[in-house]
Each structure stands twice: as structure tokens, then as C-alpha cells.
Amino acid sequence: MSPAILVLGGGFAGFWAALAAKRVAGRAAEVTLVSRTQVLEMRPRLYEAKPETLGIDLPPRLAAAGIGFVEGEAVGLDPAARTLGLAGGARLPYARLVVATGSVLRRPPVPGAETAFSIDSQADAIHFDRRLAEIARVVAEPCIVIIGAGFTGIELALELRDRIVAHAGDGERLRIVLADRAASVGAELGPGPRSAIEAALGEARVELRLGGTVAALAPDRVTFSDGAILDADAVVLTTGMVAADFVRHVPGARDGLGRIVVDRALRTPAAPEIFVTGDAAAADTGDGHLALQSCQHALQLGRFAGENAARDLLGLALIDYTQPRYVTCLDLGRAGAVMTSGWDRAVEKTGEEAKAIKRRINTQVIYPPAGAPGETLLALSSTDMARQERRT
């Protein structure tokens, strides 16, 4: 029997890790992707309308490339025995393991946080969209409160009027409140794009409640620490992400987001046969910055981790992960978008020009090509291609 490379996680990093591992290993190793769902969710798009359409089926694409698929929930890991435990008792052996279990919403530690909506997963986004449809039908002057004025919160706030309209409601009568404990919107994005963001929020009549903390949440209200109470028809959390819970089984140091600190080859120093990638990895991009929990970084992290897992198994030299080119492209709804470059986030494009780039990213760049044969998918998993993408 051929040695097995297991890839755990069916998100962007896991999908491309499996393809990269298979491209390098060929027939010398079996590559299997393990995921609790058969769908690759288009998570960066879940602020948009029609979230039920924002996923693609994994098994056909994996099968085309000669990669196995196991649907199951991973619940345990035995690095000494090199086995992955699944719910129900099954244990899968591996010669190399790539952990790509992603991230989850960091809910604030306040009473009632579990009652708030989110758009963290496709199921969460569908649940919230059903509430939007109900609001559009039965509430004359609704109010939606978004807690978290970061990247996701901004994009969602600026999409909400049109989403109410899509459900045959009056989007102009919607009150949108965007709240954050930071003193400014998009604090983690820095001052570069802030003026474009603030202008778009002002034009869209999004109310800002900044510099305060939430004391409690309920389905119909937000209570702030200063005693103020804000009634709402829906409360949505966009409060950032932490590494998904499975990484607690992986030995090694962790950063403040719960991610495993990996070496330059994305390997876990405490268990060298385990590689960690995507939102689960605290990885240096090659210039002293840590990769962000973002699709942009996950796509490349996956390619490098999968290739290195196969290289390690075959006794080939490992390659250092690098991804120095960093851009952001933030959807600003009716105001277009804003695109920045570099870690200082210098604005390059705004308005409709940036919006065209955002549409291309959301509808083309992050998707595997539809109907592509296995050899095409394998070719696209090349880290050489990843390096070329950074130069374009």
C-alpha cells in the first residue's frame, strides 16, 4: 500500500494543499482530503446576497485529480502513532498530515453572544439571509446592528440596503448601525483606506458607534457598557477570527489567535511529519510579517504546505514559504471598492475601477476553474505559479 498524505480541512488552503501534494507525489503516495462537508465555501463572499449559491462541490474536483475524499469530523490526533481520529471511532493512518482546519468567529465573552447572527460559515450566512427576508416582509423601519467594524463588518454594512431590496423590501428605510470598541472603523487596516471607507459609510447612511464595548446581547437588543440600549431587528457579529478548535490537538507553540507557529516550510517543529497551513498557521510571509487569516494568504499557504508534505515524504528538499506581495481590496457597496498595496496599505484604486477588481477576485480568482480536468488543477497547484502570481 502506498504511504498516505492526509489533508485535513476542505477550505481554500486544504483544497490547494491536496492538489499540490498530489502533483508532487504522483503515484508514489495516496493523497486524501478529509472534511466535515463536501462543499468548499466561498467564505470571502458570504456578506453578499444569495449565500446558498456560494459554495462548490469538492469530491468531483478532487476525483478528477486522483485525490481521495473522506467526509468526517476530526476529533483527535495521535502524532506518535500517526493517526487521525474521526467522530464515530474511525482512525485514519498517515505518513504526512497537512492541517488546514481554518478559523472560526471569535464571539465576544458577553452574555447572549450566542444569540447573535454571523456570516462565519455558509450555513450561518443562509440563516442570517432568511432573517433578512423576514425583516423585508414584515418590518416597516428595521434596524440591523453589526458588532465589529473591521473588514467583514464594513463590507456587510455596505451591502445590507441592496440585500433588503433583493428580498423585495425598502432598503432606504433600513437603519444600519456599525459598532466597534475601536475609535475608528477598519482600525486594523490603518489610515490609508480610511477616508474612502468613511466616505462610503457616510453616503450609505451607516451610523457609527465607536469607542465603546458591548455588555450584553439579545436577539432584539444590544446593551453597551455605558448603559445605552439599542433595539434591533437583527444583531450580527463580525468580531474577528481565531484558529478553529482542532489545532489544540497539534503539538507546538501558538500565537495570540491560537494558530500553530510553523517553520519556514510550514512544518510543526514539535511534530515534523505534520504541516499546518491556512488560517491555522502562524507563518512568516518572508518579510517579517505574519500571514493573515485571509483567502489571499490561504491560497498560497495551501500550495506550499501540500508541496512540502509530499517533498518531505519523498526525501526531496523543502521550500520556504514566501508571500511578500500583499494587497487588500475592500468592497464598498454602491461606492465601489478601495484597493491598497503593501503592509502600509497605500491606496492604489478606488470607486468603480477597484470594484471591477473586487468582482474579478470574488467571481474568478478564488475559484478553481469550472470543469477543469485533473491535470489542469494539478498544474494550478504549483508553487512556481504562486510565485508568478505575486509578480503580476
Full domain range(s) for residue 308:
4-105+241-326
Q: What would the 3-class secondary structure string for the chain be?
A: CCCEEEEECCCHHHHHHHHHHHHHHHHHCEEEEEECCCEEECHHHCCCCCHHHCEEEHHHHHHHCCCEEEECCEEEEECCCCEEEECCCCEEECCEEEECCCEEECCCCCCCHHHCEECCCHHHHHHHHHHHHHHHHHCCCCEEEEECCCHHHHHHHCCHHHHHHHCCCCHHHCEEEEEECCCCCCHHHCCCCHHHHHHHHHHCCEEEEECCCEEEEECCEEEECCCCEEECCEEEECCCEEECHHHHHCCCCECCCCCEECCCCCEECCEEEEEECHHHEECECCCCCECCCCHHHHHHHHHHHHHHHHHHHHCCCCCCCCCCCCEEEEECHHHCEEEEECCCCEEEEEHHHHHHHHHHHHHHHCCCCCCCCHHHHHHHCCHHHHHHHHHC
Query: Looking at residues 76-104, what average pLDDT do you find?
Result: 97
Q: Do 12 and 99 share a domain, yes or no?
A: yes
Does residue 348 lie within any of the structural domains?
Answer: no
- Where is pLDDT greater, at 177 or 324? 177
Judging by DSSP bridges, how do beta strands 30-35 and 4-8 pair with one another?
parallel
Average pLDDT over residues 116-129: 98
Residues 95 and 153 placed together within one structural domain of the fold: no
Q: With 90 as the cut, is the pLDDT of residue 233 above it?
A: yes
Pair (140, 247) in one structural domain:
no
Q: 3 falls in which pLDDT band (50, 70, 90)?
A: confident
Beta-bridge partner residues of 241 = 105
Q: What does the alpha-carbon distance between residue 39 and residue 58 come to, in Å, rounded to a whole number?
A: 6
210 beta partners:
180
Average pLDDT over residues 222-235: 97
- List of residues 6+ apart from 256 with CB closer than 8 A: none
The confidence score (pLDDT) of residue 237 equals 98
- In this prediction, residue 387 has a pLDDT band, given cuts at 50, 70 and 90, of low
| 165 and 261 fall within a common domain | no
Both 147 and 190 in a single domain? Answer: yes
- Judged against a pLDDT cut of 50, whether residue 392 lies above it is answered with no
281-304 per-position pLDDT tens digit: 999 999 999 999 999 999 999 999
* 22 domain-assigned: yes
Task: Judge if 28 and 69 occupy the same domain.
Answer: yes
Write the CATH number for 245: 3.50.50.60
- For the segment 168-190, the average pLDDT, to the nearest whole number, is 96
Query: Does residue 101 share a domain with residue 127?
Result: no
What's the pLDDT at 383?
85
In a domain, 139, yes or no: yes
Among candidate residues 306, 326, 346, the one where a domain is terminated: 326
pLDDT-based confidence at residue 370 (cuts at 50, 70, 90): confident
pLDDT given for residue 73 in this prediction: 96
Q: Per-residue pLDDT tens for 237-279? A: 999 999 999 999 999 999 999 999 999 999 999 999 999 999 9
Mean pLDDT, residues 108-112: 96
pLDDT of residue 390: 44
pLDDT band at 1 (very low <50, low <70, confident <90, very high): low
342 lies in some domain? no
pLDDT at 391 over 50: no
| Residue 344 lies inside a defined structural domain of this protein | no
Same-domain check for residues 87 and 31: yes
Kindly tell me if the per-residue pLDDT of 367 is higher than 50.
yes
Q: What is the pLDDT of residue 386?
A: 57
Write down which residue in 222, 237, 252 finishes a domain.
237
Report the chain's mean pLDDT, rounded to a whole number.
95
Among candidate residues 309, 326, 343, the one where a domain is terminated: 326
pLDDT, tens only, 191-206: 999 999 999 999 999 9
CB count, 10 Å around CB of 372?
Answer: 15
The verdict on residue 391 lying in a domain is: no
Name the domain count of the chain: 2
Average pLDDT rounded to a whole number, residues 14-19 = 98
Task: Find the Cα–Cα–Cα–Cα dihedral 323, 326, 182, 245, rounded to 10°.
Answer: -30
